[in-house]
Chains A and B, each alone.
Chain A
Amino acid sequence: MIRYILRRILYAIPIAFGVSVVCFSLVYIAPGDPLQTVMPPDATAETIAIVKHAYGFDKPLPVQFLIWLGRVLTGDFGVSIATRRPVFLEVSEALANTALLAMFAVPLAFFTGYVMGAVAGSFAGRWVDRVVTGAAVVGVSLPNYWFGIVLVIVFAVEYMLLPATGMGPNGSTGFSLLQWSNVQFLILPVITLAMIPIGILARTTRAAVAEVRNQDFVQTLRAKGLSEWAVTRHVLKNAMPQVMAVMGLQFGYLLGGSILVETVFTWPGSGFLLSKAIINRDVPVLQGTILVLSLVFVATNLVVDLLQSLIDPRIRRA
């Protein structure tokens, strides 16, 4: 087991390295000089050369990359062009807000999707199955940024039950999960975020459950006289690892891919930060956010793999 864990961690290191190379090169696929935004337009060639030297832009690319990597490893992501604050601070604050959304969206999606899929898989081919499968297709094909807008139209514009955007009432500081005035801002974004994972999980669980039910051991369980409920429990347990793998991926996607939903609800999370950075052409923030989010995604995948191997020892030997 320990050897497996070490091997998986070792395997994640080159991936993380590759991810940082991609993030580093983002600055260079951006059109124009990376210094354009900080230089006054009337700067002389001499000044440009001095500034270039000061920022290290005159060195060869691999050297620049190593210097950048060294800074990143110590938590120095540079300074935001728009707000002049350290990128690390901006990203970590935003990430905490995104994690707050994910904390509620993931259990909601997991529970709903798993139950839907389990029911559909247990009654494969019957009408319940058709209804659930249809609902799951809706979930998978839903443009969640549009669904968010529809929820806002219904609950905030037409019935005025819930706030449309933001993270708390005007002028409020801090976010408390114990106060309704704060919590009400969570509801719509969490539901919106959960929709796609619900669809994906329901489909995955349905396929896994239907597959496991066709295996020989289920026949054996029935033959030895177990009740249908007890058989179902065995089936659900055996379908779990596959479902967990997908759920882990979805958790990562929620953290990294919530950019559209956060933009709709102006939720001050990492996705919203990213979309602001794009509008302001704030490359340090863009780079830093994407690096942190993708590293979180790599780490999530690692944790999911390890959890899976804990549940299902067969994976360790593969």
Chain B
Amino acid sequence: MGSAATLPVSPPHPSPLPANGAREYSAAVLTTDTVVLDQPRDAFEEQAIPATRVRGYWQSVFYRLRHDPVTLSFAAIVLLIVLAAICAPLIAPFDPFKESIVGRLKPFGWRGHPLGTDELGRDMLSRLIYGGRVSLMMGVVPVLIASLVGGLLGVVGGFVGGRTNTAIMRTMDVFYAFPSVLLAVAIAGAMGGGMANGMLALTLVFIPPMCRVAETATTQIRALDFIEAARASGARTTTIIRYHILGNVLGPVFIYASSLVSVSILLASGLSFLGLGVRPPVPDWGLMLSTLRQSIYVVPFVCALPGVAIFITSMCCNLVSDGLRAAMDVRM
């Protein structure tokens, strides 16, 4: 259920971590240590070469990903879209800002414009390629920042526990009480739009759910025996957090973040659609959809194009995230 959209940054329900997330690490560390110390050398070597080689966690994740053609192909599409946005000046057939009075609102294929032109006569294909830059950035940057801030807050809260945790989580509960679209619109609307404000609003929307994911995972890990064992063997708190907690919390946080990218792209375009994102003439999918809405009676299919771009990007991100989740065996 993690991903979502009206735009339900749906609250992840606490659920037990998969066994290979939490336990395999500690078991592996402990056994190799004891084996090396106690066993005579030849006996150890005999044991170390079992009939079937056991894969490590990340190895098995990559193995599963390699054998998942669906996820791989959708990941390839996402990669293509990202590359197209980065290399926009190289591949765009026209200048995305060049207007033409005679060439306004033309259909597909008009005078070498493969996807037609917009209300100011600018080439649609070029604007769509350039538009990906803003839309993707507004989709990814808030998720990155929110993962860092929310993840940190969650890990600290979950590890320290007690009053600190209660204070953090109750504050987050307040922001949970807003539907995500509403909160984003409220913050961006009050601050007056613009790309930076839009990204800030989205970041604030994503911090609480991120924090909850990290907190749930941390609280569960903290209660496990191997943390106790690490502490008993004299590991410092920073070491425990760095190796044992982070190692096990990063998985769920990463998966949740990947599912948020699709939501973030939808929300960011939604903000631009309402006029709260970038300002014209900068091309952005949401903004293009909004300005072309007036022209649906002239060139209906051209007007629907920016939405197609949003939809395809968001869907591919969703499917890649689903595939990653299955491969990493993280349940939320």
Contact = CB atoms under 8 A, between A and B. Distances in A.
B314 A19 contact: no
A293 B177 CA distance: 10
Q: Which of A260, A283, A298 has most B Cβ within 10 Å?
A: A260
Contacts of B10: 200, 246, 249
Given A143-B266, A256-B179, A283 B190 contact: yes
B269 to A, nearest CB: 6
Interface string B225-248: 000000000000000000000000
B185 A259 contact: yes
A197 B189 CA distance: 25
Interface stretch (B35-43, B215-223, B271-279): B271-279
B79 interface: no
A18 interface: yes
Nearest to A301: B177
A275 interface: yes
Contacts of B4: 140, 196, 200
B182 interface: yes
Contacts of A197: 6
B5 A141 contact: yes
Given A22-B174, A140-B318, A157 B190 contact: no
Contacts of B296: 149, 152-153, 157
Interface stretch (A26-34, A182-190, A304-312): A26-34
B8 interface: yes
Interface in B156-196: 170-171, 173-175, 177-182, 185-187, 189-193
A104 to B, nearest CB: 15
Contact of A263 (B171, B178, B274, B317): B274
A131 interface: no
Interface string A215-256: 000000000000000000000000000000010011011111
B16 interface: no
A129 B179 CA distance: 30
A157 B304 CA distance: 13
B65 interface: no
Contacts of B306: 146
A260 B273 CA distance: 8
Contacts of A103: none
B189 A274 contact: yes
Given A138-B315, A253-B179, A278 B187 contact: no
Contact of A257 (B6, B11, B274): B6
A153 B274 contact: no
A207 interface: yes
Interface string A254-289: 111111100110000000001101110101001000
A143 B310 contact: yes
B179 A142 contact: no
A34 to B, nearest CB: 11
A145 B289 contact: yes
B300 interface: yes
A260 B193 CA distance: 16
A201 B105 CA distance: 39
Given A149-B307, A259-B181, A259-B274, A144 B6 contact: yes
Contacts of A143: 266, 269-270, 307, 310-311, 314
A277 B273 CA distance: 15
Interface residues of A, number: 65
A14 B170 contact: yes
Contacts of B170: 14, 18
Nearest to B259: A140
B11 to A, nearest CB: 8
B300 A260 contact: no
A23 B296 CA distance: 37
A56 to B, nearest CB: 20
A82 interface: no
B310 A279 contact: no
Contacts of A149: 289, 293, 296, 303-304, 307
B1 interface: yes
Nearest to A245: B13
A142 B191 CA distance: 27
Nearest to B273: A145
Contacts of A152: 296
A83 B228 CA distance: 64
A257 to B, nearest CB: 4
B319 interface: yes
B311 A256 contact: no
Contacts of A16: 177
B264 interface: no
Contacts of A256: 178-179, 181-182
Given A19-B177, A31-B191, A260-B273, 11 more contacts: A18-B170, A140-B3, A143-B270, A145-B273, A196-B8, A200-B1, A200-B5, A204-B1, A249-B11, A286-B186, A297-B178
5 contacts: A27-B190, A196-B6, A257-B6, A263-B273, A297-B182
Interface of A: 14-16, 18-19, 21-23, 26-27, 29-31, 137-138, 140-147, 149-150, 152-153, 157-158, 193, 196-197, 199-200, 203-204, 207, 246, 249-250, 252-260, 263-264, 274-275, 277-279, 281, 283, 286, 290, 293-294, 297-298, 301
Interface of B: 1, 3-8, 10-11, 170-171, 173-175, 177-182, 185-187, 189-193, 262, 266, 269-270, 273-276, 289, 293, 296-297, 300-301, 303-304, 306-308, 310-311, 314-315, 317-319, 322
